[in-house]
Amino acid sequence: MLSWAEGISSKGVFAVNEAEAKGRTQFVLNTGRSLLQGVSMEGESKWSRKYFDAVAIIEMNPSDISALGAKDRVKVYNEHGAVVVRVKHSNRAPPGQVFIPMGPWANVLTDPETDATGMPRLKGIKVFVEPTDEPLTTLADVLKLLGAKQLEVYMEDLPLKTGEKKVVENAVCSFCGDLCDHLVIEVDGSKIVRITGGCAISSAKLLNYHRHRILKPYIREQGKLVEVDLDKALDEAADILVSSKYPLIFGLSSTDTEANKYAIELAELVHGVVDNTSVFCHGPTTLAVQEVGTARCTFGAAVNLADLVVFWGCNPLEAHPNHFARIVLREGRFVKGRKERKVVVIDIRRTPTADQADLFIEVEPGRDYELLTALRMAIRDLDIEAPLVAGVPREKVIELAEIMRTARYGVIFFGQGLTMTGAKYRNLVALIKLVQELNEWTKFSIVPMRGHYNVTGANQVSLWITCYPYAVSYARGFPKMIIGVTSATDLLAHGDVDSALIVASDPVAHLPRKAVEHLARIPVVVIDAKWSLTSAFADVIIPGAYVGIECEGTAYRMDDVPIRLKKIVDPPPGVLCDSEVLRMLVDRVKAKMGCGA
Query: What SS3 class is residue 505?
Result: coil
Give the interface segment with ligand SF4, choosing from 119-127, 151-159, 316-324, 508-516 (CB under 6 A): 316-324
- The secondary structure of residue 513, as a DSSP letter, is H
Among 44, 64, 111, 178, binds ligand SF4 (CB under 6 A): 178
Nearer to ligand SF4, 187 or 500 (CB): 187
CB of 524 to ligand SF4, least distance (A): 28
Interface with ligand SF4, residue 41, by CB under 6 A: no
- Judge whether 487 and 113 are in contact, CB under 8 Å: no
CB of 181 to ligand SF4, least distance (A): 9
Among 124, 198, 283, 451, binds ligand SF4 (CB under 6 A): 198
Please name the residues in contact with 11: beta carbons below 8 A apart, sequence gap of 6 or more: 81
Helix residue ranges, H only, 383-487: 394-406, 416-419, 425-438, 455-466
Interface with ligand SF4, residue 322, by CB under 6 A: yes
Interface with ligand SF4, residue 416, by CB under 6 A: no
Nearer to ligand SF4, 171 or 488 (CB): 171
Interface with ligand SF4, residue 34, by CB under 6 A: no
Among 31, 202, 257, 277, binds ligand SF4 (CB under 6 A): 202
Nearer to ligand SF4, 39 or 297 (CB): 39
Return d(Cα 594, Cα 409) in angstroms, integer: 57
CB of 502 to ligand SF4, least distance (A): 22
Other C-beta atoms within 10 Å of 184: how many?
Answer: 14
Interface with ligand SF4, residue 332, by CB under 6 A: no
Nearer to ligand SF4, 230 or 325 (CB): 325
- The secondary structure of residue 551, as a DSSP letter, is B
Return d(Cα 562, Cα 559) in angstroms, integer: 9
Beta-bridged to residue 543, according to DSSP, are: 528
Amino acid at 192: I
Return d(Cα 10, Cα 422) in angstroms, integer: 28
Query: 370-386: b or e for each residue (b if 16 or more CB lie within 10 Å)?
Result: bbbbbbbbbbeeeebee
Map the footprint of ligand SF4 across residues 509-528, applying CB under 6 A. Answer: none
Interface with ligand SF4, residue 175, by CB under 6 A: yes
Nearer to ligand SF4, 180 or 297 (CB): 180
Nearer to ligand SF4, 173 or 375 (CB): 173
CB of 201 to ligand SF4, least distance (A): 4
Return d(Cα 72, Cα 60) in angstroms, integer: 12
Among 28, 57, 82, 176, binds ligand SF4 (CB under 6 A): 176
Amino acid at 566: K
Return d(Cα 75, Cα 61) in angstroms, integer: 16
CB of 200 to ligand SF4, least distance (A): 8
Nearer to ligand SF4, 171 or 267 (CB): 171
Helix residue ranges, H only, 195-307: 200-207, 230-243, 257-269, 283-292, 299-305
Burial of 394 (0-12, 13-18, 19+ CB in 10 A): middle
Interface with ligand SF4, residue 179, by CB under 6 A: yes
Among 94, 251, 272, 321, binds ligand SF4 (CB under 6 A): 321
Please name the residues in contact with 584: beta carbons below 8 A apart, sequence gap of 6 or more: 234, 576
Interface with ligand SF4, residue 555, by CB under 6 A: no
Give the interface segment with ligand SF4, choosing from 56-64, 173-181, 562-570, 581-589 (CB under 6 A): 173-181
Return d(Cα 58, Cα 84) in angstroms, integer: 9
CB of 85 to ligand SF4, least distance (A): 26
CA distances from 479 to 124, 217, 268 (A): 33, 31, 8
Give the interface segment with ligand SF4, choosing from 318-326, 365-373, 398-406, 544-552 (CB under 6 A): 318-326
Nearer to ligand SF4, 78 or 454 (CB): 454
Interface with ligand SF4, residue 173, by CB under 6 A: yes
Nearer to ligand SF4, 262 or 324 (CB): 324
Among 70, 180, 297, 431, binds ligand SF4 (CB under 6 A): 180
Interface with ligand SF4, residue 568, by CB under 6 A: no
Interface with ligand SF4, residue 40, by CB under 6 A: no
What is the strand order of the sheet 183-188 is part of? Answer: 165-171, 183-188, 191-196
Strands of 293-381 (E only): list them: 308-312, 342-347, 359-362
Nearer to ligand SF4, 176 or 497 (CB): 176
Closest listed residue to residue 531, CA positions, set 87, 102, 212: 212
Beta-bridged to residue 86, according to DSSP, are: 57, 73
Interface with ligand SF4, residue 456, by CB under 6 A: no
CA distances from 406 to 132, 158, 312 (A): 53, 55, 19
CB of 449 to ligand SF4, least distance (A): 10
- Summarize as ranges the residues that interact with ligand SF4 (CB under 6 A): 173, 175-176, 178-180, 198-199, 201-202, 320-323
